[in-house]
Chains A and B, each alone.
Chain A
């Protein structure tokens, strides 16, 4: 493999890994896994958005006469140690877990895009320094760095987001930089340069859409691990704090009533698992569709 790839790149440095946007949906919808992933994702996002309307009870309203009840017609997923309806809490938590994941990845996407593009365009010392920082950050497992930062700053939503963004952006910047470097050698970009078009317009017209598409694939593929990281950190008590409902934090609660009320465990486990599957299916499908280099 390693023999073939460089040759291929030499032969056609002009490969644009960007699909014509018009065909994207059509191609995605022909992809069996994409349909499944998209369906699941829409279902979960829909449930999270409509959660407050669908929830049969207030998510944080205790009912001490109905503590740790098993699933029933009234409480589909049972009740927790304070008699709160588990289904309502799972729905409420979904908004927080998924919303946080999207927030962090959105920030990571923008930071990676901006810094990577700057490094690729500026070159020289700026490039070297930025890429050294990227190397170092990528040498530490993201989750370890996130645990350390949030562990030192103290638990809480803001620190969780900050820690995750700091430990996650490096790969995006490196990817954006290598794409920009590659694009600068492309015939269409060189032609535009020779025609006297400024870098600003070239970036917007020829380079950035491709960078964005690449980063979008990675971000979608990352969504699963991001959801797992947020739930994991909250499970450890480092993320979203009680009484706010979050899938991982709910798992931590459920652990205290492990033998007594196993349904408390299953309530958050199933949506986390479905969310990660949906993100992975969708990410793989996007990669196949947007990145013809991998199709062949």
Chain B
């Protein structure tokens, strides 16, 4: 968070309204992170079983005595008021201590951190694929409005938005990997096997974004500034690329910001299907092992990355759109 907070400083000197908007947005993000911490923490008291007992077993104590459990309960403050427990938990969480995994006895953050790169690689590849498909589809649809490429894009996107990623994953695994022998069932996370799971994860978002981009491109093509550009002799392709796309990109950017959450969330199920060694498949293993601190860490990590991503997207939108920089006068 500190790097983010430092970033807008240079801008603040330039324009007050922007500084206020950005400051407000940062405060909002901070409050949201605080709220996410409440939800994350609350998962443990919700869980059945005694955390002290599970933790002792995680530390390798076999058949802990009643005194040992009671001592740890005391040490963890499990008998104190919930509010006190939350504040103490938050104090530890801020310092990066999200307790130990019941199963491995290792710090949760370390365990998740080891697997995060694989998830980010999968989600990032998927994001790139989705964006490439969406921009291609949106441009094709707008350039050939009401002609066959447009009809095709509309049909494909309509089908695409209705295809849940895990269904595509299962079908791809059965009919591409097993039948055609492309890729691997147990991928193990090597980079050359990322394309298939990333594509499955990308399809519904690509279709959604392509529909959105097509619609906003068509709207831009009907606006006065594109009419002027055409009147001044710009080719249709140039109008589309140079004038319509930059204006249509902003709604897409906002949608991408919202969609990133779904991308990270959806990657969990795709990871489970393709046995991709990221935090998703790790958390499902943790759920079956009733390893709740890992589940907590998962929620905290995804919540944080989502808040950060949407914050960056909003700041990017301010940087890209002069109308937003004018201090939200509209």
B295 adjacent to A148 (CB under 8 Å): yes
A41 interface contact, C-beta 8 A? no
Query: Which residues of chain A from 206 to 255 have a CB within 8 Å of any chain B CB?
Result: 224-225, 228, 231-232, 235-238, 251, 255
Contacts of B44 in A (CB 8 A): 152
B35 contacts which of A135, A144, A225, A258 (Cβ < 8 Å)? A135
A143 adjacent to B266 (CB under 8 Å): yes
A133 adjacent to B35 (CB under 8 Å): yes
Query: Which residues of chain A from 246 to 295 have a CB within 8 Å of any chain B CB?
Result: 251, 255, 258-259, 262, 265, 269, 272-273, 276-277, 280-281
Contacts of A232 in B (CB 8 A): 164, 166, 269
Given contacts A144-B264, A147-B283, A277-B159, contact A272 B167 (CB under 8 A): yes
A280 adjacent to B35 (CB under 8 Å): no
Q: How many chain-B residues does the 8 Å CB contact rule pick out?
A: 57
B265 adjacent to A2 (CB under 8 Å): no
Question: Whole-angstrom distance from the CB of A293 to the nearest CB of chain B?
Answer: 14
A191 interface contact, C-beta 8 A? no
Contacts of A142 in B (CB 8 A): 265
B78 interface contact, C-beta 8 A? no
B46 adjacent to A273 (CB under 8 Å): no
Given contacts A152-B46, A258-B178, contact A139 B303 (CB under 8 A): yes
A110 interface contact, C-beta 8 A? no
Contacts of B286 in A (CB 8 A): 151
Number of A-B residue pairs with CB-CB distance less than 8 Å in the complex they form: 136
Contacts of A21 in B (CB 8 A): none
Contacts of A273 in B (CB 8 A): 162-164, 167
Q: How many chain-A residues does the 8 Å CB contact rule pick out?
A: 45
Contacts of B284 in A (CB 8 A): 236
23 A-B residue pairings within 8 Å (CB atoms): A2-B321, A3-B323, A135-B31, A135-B32, A136-B35, A139-B261, A140-B261, A141-B302, A144-B265, A144-B298, A145-B39, A147-B265, A149-B46, A151-B286, A152-B43, A228-B167, A231-B164, A231-B167, A251-B167, A272-B167, A273-B163, A276-B163, A277-B158
A-contacting residues of B (Cβ < 8 Å)? 28, 31-32, 35-36, 38-39, 43-44, 46-48, 158-159, 161-164, 166-167, 170-171, 173-175, 178, 216, 219, 250-251, 261-262, 264-266, 268-269, 272, 283-284, 286-288, 292, 295-296, 298-299, 302-303, 306-307, 310, 321, 323-324, 330
